[in-house]
Amino acid sequence: MKIPSASRWQRFTACAPSGHLPVSYEESGDAATKGTIIHKFIETSRKTGSRERALKAVPDDLKPLCYAISLDDVPASAESEVVLVYFGQYQRLNEVPKGTMRDDCLIMVADLFDYDKDTDAVYVADWKTGRGFVPAAENNWQMKIGALLGARVVGASKAHVSIIRIDDAGNLHEDKAEFDEFDLCDIEEQMLATLKAGYASERAMGNGKLPVVTEGQHCKYCPSFLFCPAKRALVRAAVGNPEETVKTLEKELLRENYTEAYLGLRRLADASKALWKALFSRAQEEPIPIGDGMVWGPSVVTTEKIDGDIAYRVINEIGQQAQIPGFAEKAVGFTCSKASITRAVASVEGAKDLGSSQAAVVRRLIDSIREEGGVEVKTTERYAERKA
Ligand code: SF4
């Protein structure tokens, strides 16, 4: 078994077979690419001390977001992208003597890492850029592994962890937790027990036994979804006979068993997402024939994006020459959102000075627009899973 990296331990601790079952696709995509770019921007900004330099490597569509990220509150002494490893012993990857490390080890890349000798505490932080569900820092296994590995590497007795979520406007939202030596010992014990369970499950499967999986919310992004015994039956039924699957679910509804119907549909939706992911990655290798001489696979679509400022200038000029009043105004509309105001406050010189902080300036501008009747409040209803 290749030990899952720290970011996969939330699932691994809940379901040991997820650590060794084959994977049908790698977790990647637009969100992951965006996350990598933002991580790199922050790392380069901190290392070079120049956000302008770091911005040069950022694609245009992500420049406003990156520009708006304020790193003022990040501890200056914290190192970026520190690789911590456990392979029977705890070490920083760059300090492992050549030839002593096992191929297989538990890896945690700490986006920020620091050690304060005075308080004997390490600080481990992780930037999050996606919108997916992230368990709270105190229950988050990625952060627990970070706390343990970080503390053991320097021999600290405490760990402060922080999940820093970056929203689409570049604002930072922090979720913190603290672990003392008792907590760290507890985490270590659970970590070793999880590894033992993973190896035992792998051995049992090697001996022809079906892995004993534990289903739950952690299944959502499991890359082994299509090899999971619990999901295979569902996927086979759904793909082989979709009408029958729908009928079964309808029956659940008719029996007024709404909970089962909802959970069944959710599993089906997750299974369908996993299947699509697997299909996308297969079609990327080779288009899939779908009958009648047609194939399904990637094709290049070209779209054009018109720059509003230039379009206004050009159409206005032509309109004025031809004496057509209001031509440009009709063709080019203005749009505004809280995110665009926040980006402007962060990037336009002098805008931040309009208030005590960036957030205060944004609030002031929106309040003024509201007073002028420029804010329309829309209430929409959405369905989401939440605490009862
Ligand atoms: S999909 Fe299967 S293997 Fe993956 S976490 Fe869920 S139950 Fe475990």
- Check which CATH number belongs to the domain holding 172 and give it: 3.90.320
Query: What pLDDT does 275 receive?
Result: 82
User: Could you tell me if 96 and 196 lie in one domain?
Assistant: yes
Paired with 296 in beta bridges are 288
Mean pLDDT for the stretch of residues 181-204: 97
* Ligand 1 neighbourhood includes 171 CB (under 6 angstroms): no
The domain containing residue 54 runs over which residues?
6-206
Q: Tell whether 139 is covered by a domain.
A: yes
- Gap between the Cα atoms of 185 and 148, Å rounded: 8
- Give the three-state DSSP class for 358: helix
Of 8, 9, 10, 11, the residue with max ligand 1 atoms within 8 A of its CB, to mutate for a pocket test, comes to 11
- Gap between the Cα atoms of 368 and 365, Å rounded: 5
Give the β-pairing of 288-291 and 294-296: antiparallel
User: Could you tell me if 271 and 329 lie in one domain?
Assistant: no
Mean pLDDT for the stretch of residues 29-47: 83
Q: How far is the CA of 261 from the centre of ligand 1 (A)?
A: 20
* Ligand 1 neighbourhood includes 113 CB (under 6 angstroms): no
Q: Tell whether 189 is covered by a domain.
A: yes
Look at 158 and 51; give whichever has higher pLDDT.
Answer: 158
Burial class of residue 118 in the structure, from the number of CB atoms within 10 Å of its CB (0-12 exposed, 13-18 middle, 19+ buried): exposed
Query: What pLDDT does 18 receive?
Result: 95
User: Could you tell me if 123 and 255 lie in one domain?
Assistant: no
* Ligand 1 neighbourhood includes 274 CB (under 6 angstroms): no
As for how many domains the chain has, the answer is: 3
Last residue of a domain, one of 272, 296, 320: 296
Looking at every residue in the chain, the average pLDDT score rounds to 88
User: Could you tell me if 149 and 42 lie in one domain?
Assistant: yes
Q: How far is the CA of 10 from the centre of ligand 1 (A)?
A: 12
Rounded to the nearest 5 percent, the helix, strand and coil shares of the chain are: 50, 15, 35
Q: Percentage of the chain with pLDDT > 70?
A: 97
- Gap between the Cα atoms of 294 and 313, Å rounded: 45
User: Could you tell me if 111 and 188 lie in one domain?
Assistant: yes
Q: How far is the CA of 29 from the centre of ligand 1 (A)?
A: 21
Residue 115 has pLDDT above 60, yes or no: yes
Q: Tell whether 384 is covered by a domain.
A: no
Mean pLDDT for the stretch of residues 312-338: 90
Confidence of residue 29 (pLDDT cuts 50, 70, 90): low
User: Could you tell me if 165 and 269 lie in one domain?
Assistant: no
User: Could you tell me if 145 and 273 lie in one domain?
Assistant: no
- Give the three-state DSSP class for 245: helix
Tokens 């082989």, located at residue: 240
Structure tokens at 383: 């369905």
User: Could you tell me if 320 and 251 lie in one domain?
Assistant: no
User: Could you tell me if 149 and 182 lie in one domain?
Assistant: yes
* Ligand 1 neighbourhood includes 228 CB (under 6 angstroms): yes
Q: How far is the CA of 374 from the centre of ligand 1 (A)?
A: 49
Q: Tell whether 288 is covered by a domain.
A: yes
User: Could you tell me if 149 and 277 lie in one domain?
Assistant: no
* Ligand 1 neighbourhood includes 220 CB (under 6 angstroms): no
Q: How many CB atoms lie within 10 A of CB 29?
A: 13
Which atom of ligand 1 is least distant from the CA of 18?
3
Q: How many CB atoms lie within 10 A of CB 173?
A: 10
- Gap between the Cα atoms of 251 and 73, Å rounded: 55
Query: What pLDDT does 152 receive?
Result: 97
Q: Whose CA is nearest to atom 5 of ligand 1?
A: 219
User: Could you tell me if 241 and 107 lie in one domain?
Assistant: no
Q: Tell whether 386 is covered by a domain.
A: no
Q: Whose CA is nearest to atom 6 of ligand 1?
A: 219
E strands, the chain, are: 79-86, 90-92, 106-116, 121-128, 158-166, 172-179, 288-291, 294-296
Q: Percentage of the chain with pLDDT > 90?
A: 42
Is residue 215 a contact partner of residue 33, using CB atoms and an 8 Å limit?
A: no
* Ligand 1 neighbourhood includes 213 CB (under 6 angstroms): yes
Q: Tell whether 221 is covered by a domain.
A: no
| Contacts with 158 (C-beta within 8 Å, 6 or more apart), sequence order | 119, 120, 121, 122, 151, 178, 179, 180, 181
Of 20, 202, 225, the residue with max ligand 1 atoms within 8 A of its CB, to mutate for a pocket test, comes to 225
User: Could you tell me if 279 and 196 lie in one domain?
Assistant: no
Query: What pLDDT does 191 receive?
Result: 97
* Ligand 1 neighbourhood includes 13 CB (under 6 angstroms): no
pTM over 0.75: no
Is residue 142 a contact partner of residue 108, using CB atoms and an 8 Å limit?
A: yes
